[in-house]
Copies of this chain bind each other. A is one copy, B any other.
């Protein structure tokens, strides 16, 4: 590969990276706006989104990409608002976070609000969305075959 081609590839990479970061920022922004009416801080709402059923605190941290110590505080806030409760696991070191009925209902409402706000990919055809998804996945995991 000539130097020129390498240069071009790098410029292209930078452009893609910039686009992706811009889109991610917009996505975050849309999420923040969509959840504002519900009065939950963003990380608390994120936590609720991930809470589809009883889940070990441990695992929550993994899903969210947070440190477990941070999840403790988020779980506290969900409990204080009556949206989740801590229930003991079989192994008594483990605590499961479990959405209450109210928590589950709110989660559903928020998901709909987020969907409505994010007309996100509506400017692309279904086929284009498929293509985009595939390309993004290969970017995320270069070993992915298909």
Q: Which of under 10, 10 to 19, 20 to 34, or 35 or more describes the interface residues of A?
A: 35 or more
How many copies of the chain does the oligomer comprise?
2
Which one of B28, B140, B142 lies within 8 Å of A22 (CB-CB)?
A: B140
B24–A120 touching, CB < 8 Å: no
Known: A12-B133, A123-B138, A129-B12. A20 touches B17 (CB 8 A): no
* A43 on interface, CB distance cutoff 8 Å: no
* A72 on interface, CB distance cutoff 8 Å: no
A133–B21 touching, CB < 8 Å: no
In the complex, per-residue mask of A12-39: 1 if CB is within 8 Å of any chain B CB, else 0: 1111110111111111100000000000
Binding site for B on A (CB under 8 A): 8-10, 12-17, 19-28, 65, 115, 118, 120-124, 126, 128-133, 135-140, 142
